[in-house]
Structure 1
Amino acid sequence: MSAVTLIKTGFTAGELDPRLVGRSDLDALAKGAALLENVVVQVTGGVTRRPGMRRSTDVPGGMRLVPFDGADGGAVLAFGPFKVDVIIGDAVAATPNTPAAANWSSLQVPQLSFARLGESLLICHPDLEPRQLVRLASGGWQLRKWSFAIPQGAPAPFPYREPFARFAADEVALQPVKTGLAADQPIPRDSLVTLSASAPVFTALHAGTRLRIKGRQVTVQSVQSTTEAIGLVLEALNDGQTTRDWDEQAFSQAHGYPITVGFWQDRLVVGGSRDLPDAIWMSRTGRYFDFDEGTGLDDEAFRFRLGTERNHAIRALVSGRQLQVFTSVGEWALSGDPLTPATIRADQQTGIGSPVARSLPPVEVDGATLFVSRSGKELREFLFTDDQQAFQAADLAVLARHLLADPVDMAFDPIRRLVLLVRADGSMAAATIDRENGIVAWSRLTTNGLVRAVTHLDGRTWLLVSRNGTVSLEYLDDALGVDGALTFTATTPRTVWAGLERFNDRQVWLIGDGRPMGRTVVTDGSVVLPQPVGTFVVGLAFTHVIEPVRALPLPNRVQDARYRVVRLSFRLLTTLALRLDLGSGPVAQALPAVPGGFTGDHAVRVLGWRRGIETTPWRIAQDEPSPFTLLSVSHQLQVID
C-alpha cells in the first residue's frame, strides 16, 4: 500500500467525452471532468457558476436573433413566422411587418441568412424574394424588397442592373417576334413581342421575370406554353432574329433567390441561389446593387462558379484577409488584390462542409473563423497557417464530441471568452476559448426551459428562451444566480411582492437585498418574504454540477487498482456555498462567513474503498443562487499496489 497525492490544478480540458475514459495516456484526463453543468471554465483554470438569465421582454413566436449594433446601443432583432420584432432596451420598439413584407414561414426562418449594410439588414432565403430591413433617420423601421440599380435616365418600367444567368442549355435558341416587323429590323422599347424558344424553357413561374436578349432586357408578361411567351421590351432590341445569346434574371420565382450574402473589398457578394447553388455574384465597386458586368473593367460587376466534380452548395460568406466561402462539402478562399474580374481566384482549402438543413453562420474568434461541420458533431477552426501557407480546419470539439448534438445556433461572447452553441434539445454547449494559450474547455448549460437562439450585442449575450409556452428575450447577468429573473425595488422595504404571475404554480428562489431567502411556490402572482426588503429578485433555480473524471491517474496507470481517498481539499474563490456528495448524498459544507464569499482551502475526510471507475470520489451539485468558484482539488489517496 502506498500513499499518493494527486492535485487537479484546473479544468482547462473541460468536460470530456465519456468515450475517452479508457485513454489513460491522455493528459486531458488530469485537466478535465466527467461533468461540468451550468459552470463555465475560466481561462485561468477554475470553474465558476454560470451567470443567471435576466428577463428583458416577451417575444411571441421568436425563433432567431440577429444583432444590429449602433452608437446608441443598437437593437436585437427577433425573427419569427411572418414577423420581425425590433427590441431596444427591454421593450419591442417596432414590428415593421406586413404579410407581403415579412414573407417567411416558421419552416423558413431557420434558413434565413443575414448581412449588415449600413443602417439596414439584408435578408435572404433560397425560396423567397430577398428583403431589406432599414432603420430610418426618423428612428422608425421599414421592411422592403431589394432595389437594384436603374440605368441613368431610363424611364419606367425600368430595366434593372441585377444579376443574370443562363439556365437553359447552350444550344437552346430564342427569337423575339414583333408583329409587322421583319426579323432583321430593330424592335423599339415598349413593344410587345412573342418569345419563341427552340426547346421547352418556360413555366408559369416565368411570368414577371426579365430576360436578356443580346444584352437587352425583356419582361415576360405571360406564358403561353413551355416554348412560347409574351414579352414587353424594356430596352430596344437590335433585331428580331433567332439567337443563342440570351439569359434570364438570376433571382426569380422560376429559379429561386440568394442563399447568402456578404461584402468584400467594397462589393456586395451574393453566394449561391436555389438553382445555381455554387455561383457567386459580385457587384460593382462601391455600388452594392449594381451588377452590370459591362465590358469587364476593374470596377465592374462579375460572376463565376465554384466548378468542381462535387456539388458545392454555398452556405455562408465570411470577409477576412480573404473572402471565405463555406459550402455544403468544403471551404474556399477567394483572393484578388486588388479585386477585379481579371484577378479573382478561388481555391478550395479544406473539405469539411457546413450544415444544409439550416443557416448556421460561422463566428470570428481572434482571427479564426469557427464553423459547425456538416455532420453537426464538430466545431472547426478555419485558420490560415504561415507554415502551410494555406487554411486548416482543426476540430475544437474532439475531446467533447458528445456535447455537439444537433446545434441550431451559435454566438461568441468576447467578454467571457465563450462560444455558445444552442442545441435542438434546448440546452447549450459552451466552450471557453483562449487561442493564445491553447485552451478549449467545454461545459454544458441547461435551464428550466428551452433556449432557442443566442446572439451577442453591446457587451451582452442575449437568449431566446421558451418557458411554459412563453418565448422571452433574456440576457446573461453575472450578478444573478437564477434564470428568467425579475427585479423589483421599493422606496420603503416590504414583505409582500406582487406582479409575479408568470411564475404562478412554479417554485422560485427569493433573493432580498442580495441575500438568498429560500424557495417557494408562487400563488396568485405574489409572495410573502420573511422580512422586509427594498430590492427583490425572483427567478427559477438552476443546478450547477461538477463531477471529476472517475479514472484517476493512479501510479503505474493501473486501471482497476483499489484505492481510498483519505482527504480532499477544495480551493475556493469568493464562494458562499459548497454542497458535496462523497458517496452518501449531498451535504452542505460549513464555510467561514466572509463578506463577499470565502477564499481558501476547504478540507474534508472521506471513507470507503473504490476501484477503477465504479464510482466518483466526489461530486458537487447545488442550486443556491450565490457565487461559486472552484480553482483546484487535492486528493490524498491510499492505493493497494
Structure 2
Amino acid sequence: MSATPILTTFDAGELSPMMGGRVDFEKYPNGCSLLENFITTVQGPAVRRGGTTFVSEVADSGQRTWLKEFVVSDGTKYMLEFGNGIIRFYTDRGRLVSGGTQVAIASPYTAAYLTDSDGVFALRFAQSADTMYIFHPYYPPTKLLRTSATTFVLQQTNLSAGPLQDQNIDRSKIIQASDRSGAITLTANFDAFTAADVGTIVYLEVEDFSDIRPWAVHQYVSVGDYRRVDKRVYRCNAVGSQPTHAVTGDQTPTHTEGYAWDGDGVDADNDDYGSIGVEWQYINSGYSYAKITAITDARTASAYVTTGDSQDDTIIMPQQIVDQGTWKWRKALFNGIDGWPTNGAFWRNRLVLARGRWIAMSVSADYENFATQEADESTADSAIVQQLNSRRLNEVVWLSPSDNLLVGMNGDEWVIGPIQQSEAVSASNIQAVRRTSYGSRGIVPIEVGGALLFVQASGKKLRDYKYSYSSDNYVSTDTTKLADHITTGASGNGSGILSLAFQQEPFSIVWAARGDGTLLGMTYDQEEGRSDVIGWQRHPMTNGAVECVAVMPSPDGTYDDLWMIVRRVIGGATRRFVEYMRLPLQTGDAQANAFYVDCGLSYSGTAAATISGLSHLEGQEVAVLANGAATPNQTVSGGAITLDAAATVVHVGLPSTCRLRTMQLNVNTPTGTGQGKTKRLTKVTTRLLSSLGGRVGPNFTQMEDLNFRRPADQMDQAPPLFTGDKQSLWLVGYQDEAFICYENSQPLPVTLLAFMPELTVAT
C-alpha cells in the first residue's frame, strides 16, 4: 500500500524514546526522535540556530566562572563575569573598556564559593535601578553600585535594626552595656560573643520599667526627670515660667523623636500648680541597639549605640541596661555562624531576605532598615520577620516576586501575600501558604508570561508554576514529561540542569546548561486557548561544554542575546570563553551575513585572503563562510587562515552540524496500523525557506545531498538562498523502520518547513 503523508510542524521538539510507540498521541507527528542545533518555532518550522561569537577569555580559565546580566535601562545594560575574586564587565557585545583596559573590580567571592555543591551558581541577586544587591550564605550581603558608565563600586550592605533572632528566654543570661551612648563595652555573664558577631547588631531591651515613673497629668517634675508613656521614655528638658520645676500638662506625650510640650508652660491665675506644661525629649522606648565592632573574648565585646545606620546616631541606651543589664536581648538573624541571607528580592516596595526557613522584609521603602517596630509600636510600614513552618526542615532556595511572593524551598513551594488583598502587606496582614511539594534546585527561576519556570530538586525536571483560576490554586506541570531524557543525556549522567535563562525575542526560548556541558533549548509558548508549544532541542558544540547561560537585550534592544561561558580545550589546555549566540539569518539580511560557526569572529572590509585575530582557536579546524559561500575547512596557524580567494565578508569559527530525525513515520493501512510492518521510502520532498546545503536520507549513513546550484548560477559565487521544494529519490529497499533525516555541516542557514514522503507499506 502506498501513502503520501505530510509532516508540517516540528514544534513538539525532541521527544523521549519512551514516546516511540505513542503514535496515538496528538503531538507524535510534530516531534522528532533527534533534534540538534535546530530551534523549534511556534509557527512549526525547525530553524537552524545561529553560531556563537567569541567575546573574551575569562579572567582565570582554570576556575569555574559565571555570568549575570545587569540591565539598568533600555540603553544601559551590562553582562557581569564573576570569577575568582573578580568581577569583569561587558556591554554592547564586547568588553567594557576604560582607558584601554577592561573594566573590572575586586570581589570577595572566590572560586571555591561561587559554585555550590550541586554545581549551581551560588550567588543570588536583587536589583533596583543602578544598585544590585548580592547574596551568598558565607558572605555578608554586598551591593554593586553603578556610579558612572564605566565605574562600579562593591560595598558591604549596612542592615540597620535587624533582622533579629527570637528573644532570649533564659533569664540567667545577662548582657550589660557600659554606657548610654557612643562607644561602649558589652559584658555578658556567659559565652555570648564570637568573631562572627563583628559588624552585627545586638538588640537590648529593659526587663521592666520599675525605675521610671509613668507620666501623669498635673504632676510636679524638674528638668532632668524621666517619665514614661507606655514604653516610651521621655526626659524633662525645659519647664515654663517656673525656673526649675513645673507641673505636667494635660497633653499626653506621643512623639517618638525630638521634643514636644505637654502644655503651654504658662502659670495660670487662681490655681495652686504654678506653670503648667513641660517640654519632653524623647529618649527611647525601653530598648536600643548596639553594633559590635570588636571581640575581646567570649564575654566581652566593643560596640557603639546605634540603630545600625551609622556611628553618629543620637540614640540613647536605657539606663537600666547600663545599671543592671538585661536578659531580654536578641542577636542578628543573619551572621557568620548561622549564615547570611542566601536569597533576596524586591517585593511590595520592600527588600526581602531569606535564609533557611526565615523570611525578613525590610521597612517599606527603606530597603536596609529592618526595624519591626517604630518606637513602641509596629506600624503598617514596619519590617516583617516570618518563619516558614514546613513539615521538614526545608530551606529557601529561591524567591520570585510577583503580585504574591513565590518562594521555592528544597522540599516545597510557598506563596506569601496579604490576607486582605485591599490592604498593604504588614506584620498583621500577611500569610504564607504551602501550595505544592515538588522541591527546587537552587537555580533562580524564570518568568515566562504568566508562568514561573523552576528546576525541580533533582535538576532533571523543569516545571512551570502558575495560578489556576478554575482551581483557585497554584498548579505545576512538568515541561520535560514528553522529553524526560533531555536533561539526563544518553548515559543518564548529565547531572541535570545547572543554569537557566529566558530569551524572549525572537523565539521565546528557555535556555539551559546541562551538567555535562550540553546546551539545551526549550521553545515555550503557553497561551490558554491559543497556543500550546513546548519543544525541546539539544545544541551540542564542537569541542565545547556550556557551563553557564545568561540573557540580556541586544545593543539596539530589538531582541535578546544569549550569553554563555563555554569550556573548550585549545592546544591541550582548558580555556573558558565568553561567547554570545547570533540570531539565525533574518528575512532581508544579506546572505554574506549568515553566521553559523561557533566561537567565531567576522571580518568585513576590503577584499582579503588572510584572516587573522584567531589566536583563541590556534590549532583548531575551522569552518569558513566567505562572501556567503561555504569554503573548505581550514586549520588555524599563527592565529590566522588563508583563503583560496580574497573576500570582503568572512566568518570563521568552529564547525557546527545541525541534525533532525523525525519520529517513525506512521500511516494507517486497510488492516490497521502501519507500525511493525516493513516499508519502503521511495521519494521525499523537502520544503525549505531561505536555505542552503544539507543532506537527507532514511538514516545518517545513507544520505543524499540537496543540490541548490542552477545552471545559470555563476561558479565563482555562492548559489542564492533557496525557498521551495527539493525532491530526493531514495534507492533503498524495504526496512522495518521509516525515518526522515536531515543534516547540514556547512555554515549555512536552514529552515525546514515540511517533509512530504512517499512510502510503500508491505501488507
**TM-score, length-scaled by structure 2:** 0.75
Choose the corresponding residue for 1:467, options 558, 563, 568.
568
Per-residue deviation, residues 214-252 of structure 1 (Å, max 9, x unmatched): 142235543644xx3445462513424465422111222
Give deviations 1:113-152, integer Å, cap 9, x for gaps: 111122021110111112111100474111111123xxxx
Is the 8 Å Cα contact of residues 663 and 739 (structure 2) preserved in structure 1? no
Distance 1:637 1:57 in 2: 50
2:652 aligned partner, one-letter code: V
Question: Aligned AA for 1:38?
Answer: N
Unaligned residue ranges in structure 1 (runs of 5+): 149-159, 180-185
> 2:666, 2:674 within 8 Å by CA — same for their partners in 1?
no
**Aligned residue number for residue 20 of structure 1:** 19
Do residues 383 (structure 1) and 466 (structure 2) align?
Answer: yes
Distance 1:11 1:119, change over 3 A: same
Q: Could you say if the C-alpha distance between residues 398 and 190 of structure 1 is closer, same or farther in structure 2, counting changes exceeding 3 Å?
A: same
Residue in 1 aligned with 2:707?
A: 590
Q: Is the 8 A contact 2:459 2:498 kept in 1?
A: no
**Is 2:480 the counterpart of 1:397?**
yes
In the alignment, the residues of structure 2 paired with residue 399 and residue 79 of structure 1 have an alpha-carbon distance, to the nearest angstrom, of 35
Name the counterpart of 2:320.
239
Q: What is the DSSP-based 3-state SS (H/G/I as helix, E as strand, rest coil) of the residue aligned with 2:112?
A: coil
Equivalent residue for 1:617, pick from 716, 739, 761 = 739
Shift of 1:177: 4.3
CA distance in 1, matches of 2:618, 2:149: 41
- Name the residue aligned to 2:218: none
Pairwise CA distance, 1:392: 0.7
Please report how far the alpha carbon of residue 640 of structure 1 lies from its aligned counterpart in structure 2 after TM superposition: 2.1
Match of 1:64, as an amino acid? W
In the alignment, which residue of structure 2 is the partner of 1:5?
4
Shift of 1:67: 1.1
- Which residue in the other structure is 1:440 paired with? 534
Whether 1:342 aligns to 2:428 is: yes
CA distance in 1, matches of 2:639, 2:301: 66
Cα pair distance change 1:376/1:551, threshold 3 Å: farther
Give the corresponding residue for 2:602: 487
- 1:411 Cα deviation after fit: 0.7
Please tell me whether the aligned partners of residues 167 and 329 of structure 2 are also in contact (alpha carbons under 8 angstroms): no
Question: In 2 relative to 1, CA 167–10 (structure 1 residues): closer, same or farther, beyond 3 Å?
Answer: farther
When residues 173 and 84 of structure 1 are mapped into structure 2, their CA distance, relative to the original with a 3 A threshold, is: farther
C-alpha distance in 2 between matches for 1:281 and 1:208? 19
Q: Deviations over 1:301-337 (max 9, x none)?
A: 1111111322231111111121111111111111124
Q: Deviations over 1:265-311 (max 9, x none)?
A: 11111122xxxx01111111111111111121011111111113222
- Aligned partner (choices 164, 183, 186) of residue 190 of structure 1: 183
- Hey, what's the Cα distance between the residues in 2 that align with 1:522 and 1:191? 68
Aligned partners of 1:4 and 1:638 also within 8 Å: yes
Residues 1:367 and 1:395: Cα distance change in structure 2 (over 3 Å): same
Secondary structure class of the residue paired with 1:174: coil
Separation of aligned partners in 2, 1:426 and 1:446: 8
Specify the SS of the correspondent of 1:205. helix
461-470 or 622-631, which deviates more: 461-470
User: Which of 191, 204, 211 lines up with 1:213 in the alignment?
Assistant: 204
Structure 1 vs Structure 2: percent identity of aligned residues?
24
SS at match of 2:471: coil
Residue 54 of structure 1 pairs with residue 53 of structure 2: yes
Letter of the 2:751 partner, please give it.
T
2:392 corresponds to which of 285, 310, 326: 310
TM-score (norm 1): 0.89
Give per-residue Cα distances to partners, 1:326-378, cap 9 Å, x unaligned.
111111111124212211111111111111xxx41111111211111112111
Paired position in structure 2 for 1:63? 65
Deviation of 1:386 after TM superposition, in Å, equals 1.0
1:285 lines up with 2:287 in the alignment? no
Partner residue of 2:105 out of 91, 97, 109: 97
Aligned to 1:256: 339
Shift in alpha-carbon separation, 1:455–1:284, aligned structure 2, 3 A: same
Give the letter for the 1:317 counterpart.
L
In the alignment, structure 1 residue 607 sits paired with structure 2 residue 731: yes
Tell whether 2:206 aligns with 1:133: no
Matching residue of 2:688: 572
Q: Note if contact 1:550-1:612 (Cα within 8 Å) is conserved in structure 2.
A: no
Bigger Cα displacement from structure 2, 170-179 vs 427-436: 170-179
Report the Cα offset of residue 190 of structure 1.
3.5
CA contact (8 A) 1:84 1:102 kept: no
**2:29 match: secondary structure:** helix
Letter in 1 for 2:337: A
2:174 matched to which residue of 1? 175
Relative to 1, partners in 2 of residues 1:236 and 1:520: Cα closer, same or farther, differing over 3 Å? same
| SS of residue matched to 2:18 | helix
Amino acid at match of 1:217: Y
C-alpha change, 1:104 and 1:122, in structure 2 (3 Å) is farther
Moved more, 334-343 or 298-307: 334-343
Q: State the alpha-carbon separation in 2 of the partners of residues 173 and 419 from structure 1.
A: 57
Offset of 1:259 from its aligned partner?
0.7
Q: Which residue of 1 aligns with 2:244?
A: none
| Contact map agreement 2:611 2:642 (CA 8 A) in 1 | yes
The yes-or-no answer on 1:352 pairing with 2:446 is: no
Distance 1:147 1:203, change over 3 A: closer
Q: Tell me if structure 1 keeps the 8 A contact 2:105–2:152.
A: no
Q: Give a deviation string over 1:76-123, Cα, whole Å, max 9, x none.
A: 11111211111123114354433xx43333343421111112202111
* 8 Å Cα contact 1:80/1:106 also seen in 2: no
CA 1:140–1:219: 2 relative to 1, 3 Å: closer
Q: Which residue in the other structure is 1:409 paired with?
A: 499
Highest Rg: 1 or 2? Answer: 2
User: Aligned residue for 2:661?
Assistant: 547
Structure 2 CA distance for partners of 1:107 and 1:551, relative to 1, 3 Å? farther
**What CA distance in whole angstroms lies between the structure 2 residues aligned with 1:54 and 1:374?**
33
3-state SS of 1:106 partner: helix
Measured in 2, the distance between the counterparts of 1:617 and 1:17 equals: 16
